[in-house]
Amino acid sequence: MKLFKKLRVFLTIVVVIVLFLAVVNIIPPKKNVAGENPFIVEKGALPMIAAHRGGGENYPENTILAFRGAVEDLGVDILESDLWLTKDGHLVFNHDGYIDRTSNVNGNIPFADAKARYAKEENRHYICDMTLEELEQYNFGYYFTDSTNTRVYENETPTKENGLKIAVFEDVLELFKDNDKLLFIVEIKDGGQRGYDAAKALSATLEGYPQYQNRVVIGTFHGEVEEELRENYPHLLRGASVASAAPFVITQYLGVNIFNESDFACLQIPTEYEIKGITIPLDAKTLVSRAHRRNIAVQYWTINDEETMHELIALGCDAIMTDNPKLLKEVLDEYR
């Protein structure tokens, strides 16, 4: 009799849990983005091509040359890159906080020698310590090698025409101002007060290009900068920081997404994430579909192999970020 009562209690608890999960998944969740989210593709459509750093395997990364080639030659849908604030307040594109890895700031020396030099932090030339005029002296395609391992731009003098100077955010917007479909993913890399200043500069720049107000999504790894964007620039679309993405993913997998209070427009994630030796797969159709219920775009990074590209296309994700947009275009062309 006691065993029967325990079993009945257990079954009652199970039924309550099942009913609870059923109810919370039937109730429509709130939308993270009111109205249209331009970063979401139509149901059944192929994902967008997001050129990571402008397509660093095809062109010198983060240069006007790369952005122009990715858009005009490959027809990418999204340009993705990182923003840093110069000493005199200009927003420029670069992955690192210093310019030694991609430019000839250390002179015309072999890359191995430059790498050995900038391996020591005290030898690095940081963007925050340099004005735009100083940065524009250098060739940011200097160490780029093509498919034949040839440094094709090392002898070029950097100009705005050849696109080898450091790329300025406003200049890139100006370049593509007549393209009414191009989207941007940008990440504010500075933290603290400089991050706040970068957010202010970014918002001010976009005021001059109202056509881009809803076509630029902004990310950051700095919690204080994310909060600054949320509080003072709510009109700007934001990507999920790690702090925002983690609870969203957890609540989706537990089936209690209705309790998640996130407000980002794009979920930018790798295919898996490791926490204390435990690998959590993130390439799941349920994650994509539940994000779409919230009007959130799902974008995977950084995918450079054909097999994974096929897998993510099958998931129905919204964008694939890649250093090789040429390869992704070829893969998508097979489907078309």
Domain ranges of the chain: 97-165
Model confidence over 95-150: pLDDT tens digits?
999 999 999 999 999 999 999 999 999 999 999 999 999 999 999 999 999 989 99
The pLDDT value recorded for residue 108 is 93
Q: Can you tell me the distance from the alpha carbon of 330 to that of 166, in angstroms, rounded to the nearest whole number?
A: 29
Output b/e per residue, 130-163; b: 16+ Cβ within 10 A. Answer: bebebbbebbbbbbbeeeeeeeebeeeebeeeeb
Condensed to tens digits (0 to 9), the pLDDT of residues 222-279 reads 999 999 999 999 999 999 988 888 888 888 877 767 778 888 999 999 998 877 777 8
Residue 239: phi, psi to the nearest 5?
-90, 165
Instruction: Tell me: pLDDT of 317 over 90.
Output: yes
Tokens read off for 134: 């100083």
